[in-house]
Amino acid sequence: MKIFQRLMQLRPDSVYEGVGKVVEAVNYINANSDLTAYGWQAVAGLPVGSVGVSMRFESLDSLLASQTGLIEDAGYMEIAQSAQGMLAEPAQDWIMDVIAASSDMPAEPSDFLANTVARAQLDNVGAAIDWSQRWVAMVNSIAGTPAAGLMSPHGEGGVSFAQLLYYDNLTQYEERQTPEVWSMVGGSSLMREGFSIFDDGSNTSALMRRIA
């Protein structure tokens, strides 16, 4: 399985209208194509006005065929073009392969998602894949949180790896973010190993809320 992510930064004066536009676009995609899209808004860890759209798919051919159909759809293009003026900068697209997943990874994204991304250089990619798979197993066993590991060779500065944690609600998120859990995870030998695999200062972590 692969995951497509489009990350967008809304202008400060377009945040509220732009969030509604993401919901409108996702609903249109789901009603008028064979894709299943999800809309996201940042809760913490990214600038105010950070939003996104994600899709799960099996092959690049199928994704491209569906996206081409949307480009030829006048209704979708009207929504997309009306959103252009709300963006502070061009959107960033990611195509990531799922390289690890807990057995309880939800069939579709939960309402809240904690997303941590870090980079590794090419000579550390094998170690980073192995680390990601062990990380998913560790956090799932410690806190019982559904987890997944992703990677993408695209973008600047090396290969990107993402660690996803799924939460049904904010209460569940808070219950699994206790100092005791952080001590067990942060003090583990696996986390110390990660410091030698991923580039210093390359990690970003955000909490996202599903809005569509």
CATH for 65: 3.30.70.100
Residue among 111, 118, 108, 104 at smallest CA distance from 173: 111
Q: CA dist 10 to 4, 6, 72, Å? A: 19, 13, 25
Q: Does one domain contain both 154 and 55?
A: no
Q: Which of 61, 93, 125 is the last residue of a domain?
A: 93
Residue 210 placed within a domain = no
Read off the pLDDT band of 181 (50, 70, 90): confident
Q: Does one domain contain both 118 and 199?
A: yes
How many residues are listed for the chain in this entry?
Answer: 212
Contacts of residue 15, defined as CB under 8 A and 6 or more positions apart, other chains included, come to 48, 49
Q: Picking from 44-48, 85-89, 181-185, which range would have the lowest pLDDT averaged per residue?
A: 181-185
pLDDT at position 205 is 95
- pLDDT of residue 183 exceeding 90: no
Q: Does one domain contain both 80 and 106?
A: no
Q: Does one domain contain both 102 and 199?
A: yes
Average pLDDT value for residue range 145-168: 94
| Bridge partners of residue 114, in order along the sequence | 165, 207
Q: Which of 65, 93, 121 is the last residue of a domain?
A: 93
Q: Does one domain contain both 126 and 55?
A: no
Q: Which domain holds residue 46?
A: 2-93
pLDDT at position 60 is 94
Q: How many domains does the chain have?
A: 2
Q: Residue 174: is it exposed, middle or buried by C-beta count within 10 angstroms (0-12/13-18/19+)?
A: exposed
Read off the pLDDT band of 179 (50, 70, 90): confident
Q: Which of 58, 93, 128 is the last residue of a domain?
A: 93
Read off the pLDDT band of 188 (50, 70, 90): confident
Q: Does one domain contain both 102 and 137?
A: yes
